[in-house]
Chains A and B, each alone.
Chain A
């Protein structure tokens, strides 16, 4: 059992577990939507003064802030106590494609050093810029669309919402554009 826990978990274990998390939040009287926390944080920081969009009783959303605090702790536990090593068994075509666009750190962890290493990176300014732009687009887009992967792709599709299907199609339009047309130009 422990041996299995320490290996990477296959998709047919991860998928049902994610829907179990959604299920637990629904019977907890809530919904599964991580990005709502970003709006809650804006509101808690006083953004209600500059836009009515943030003028709501954010304290009623404390449960969700606790949930993402848990997500952070879960990330720590998985990394430090439930993992043997960090290398990811990527498809060989993906590894080749990564080399073509100038990313060669695919066996050193969950993220490419070219984009995430801020201490030993000759392109540190580029990395900070990309993380900033990427993060901004995630925050702007998710609120515009009314949800992220948890709210639309998992919860929305589980409830057969057409709007969520459109949002997920949008996720792919944006993602495919960056992956196939922008990333090859950057590194």
Chain B
């Protein structure tokens, strides 16, 4: 039953990514050209409504659907890690025009060559795991 719950929300997420064109390489290019409000509108309204929903959940001390504490992870304050890692991610985001979620949505939509990017994203994650202790954080 819980599996169906996560499958359902994954399906909604995939539909939104395609229907709002967030999964489009061209929309990402346009965003980095600052030519359209579209992507900023999507991310902006997601964050604003996300802040409201998160605050409501925290203040009303809502429990999860299986009656457990909700997970709100505070991120460690490691500016170097976030800035270096984020910049490397941004290089890949602008090249492939897709972050991990849209990669899977695009594959489902029939843009099968994105599989190359997915396989190499897995290899990139593997490389990070192997080199982690040698990198500045």
Binding site for B on A (CB under 8 A): 5, 8-31, 34-35, 37-39, 41-42, 47, 50-51, 53-54, 62-64, 66-80, 82-83, 88, 90-91, 93-94, 97-98, 106, 109-112, 115-118, 127-128, 130-146, 148-150, 152-164, 166-180, 182-183
Are A146 and B85 touching (Cβ within 8 A)?
Answer: yes
Partner of A146, one of B18, B22, B81, B106: B81
Q: For chains A and B in complex, what number of residue pairs have CB atoms within 8 angstroms?
A: 503
Q: Give Cα A91–Cα B26 distance, bound, in whole angstroms.
A: 10
With A131-B117, A134-B95 as given contacts, are A175 and B81 in contact (CB-CB < 8 Å)?
no
Chain B interface mostly: helix
Whether A144 contacts B18 by the Cβ 8 Å rule is no
If over half of A's interface residues share one DSSP class (helix, strand or loop), that class is named, otherwise mixed; here it is: helix
Closest to B90 in A: A174
Q: Which residues of B contact A18 (CB under 8 A)?
A: 13, 16, 42, 46
A138-B86 contact given A19-B46, A71-B13, A75-B108, CB 8 Å threshold: no
Q: What CA separation (Å) do A83 and B24 show in the bound complex?
A: 14
Contact A63 B2 (CB under 8 A): yes
Closest A residue to B128 by beta carbon equals A143
CA distance in complex: A167, B46 (Å): 17
Chain A proximity of B72: nearest CB distance (Å): 6
Given contacts A11-B45, A145-B81, contact A27 B57 (CB under 8 A): yes
Q: How far is the CA of A110 from the CA of B29 in the complex (A)?
A: 11
Cross-chain contact of B7 among A30, A69, A137, A145 (Cβ < 8 A): A69
Listed A/B pairs (30) with beta-carbon separation below 8 Å: A15-B47, A21-B13, A27-B62, A27-B64, A29-B70, A34-B101, A38-B121, A64-B6, A67-B6, A68-B10, A72-B10, A88-B21, A93-B33, A93-B35, A110-B25, A110-B106, A116-B114, A117-B113, A118-B113, A133-B95, A135-B96, A138-B121, A143-B85, A143-B124, A145-B81, A145-B82, A157-B47, A163-B82, A167-B85, A170-B82
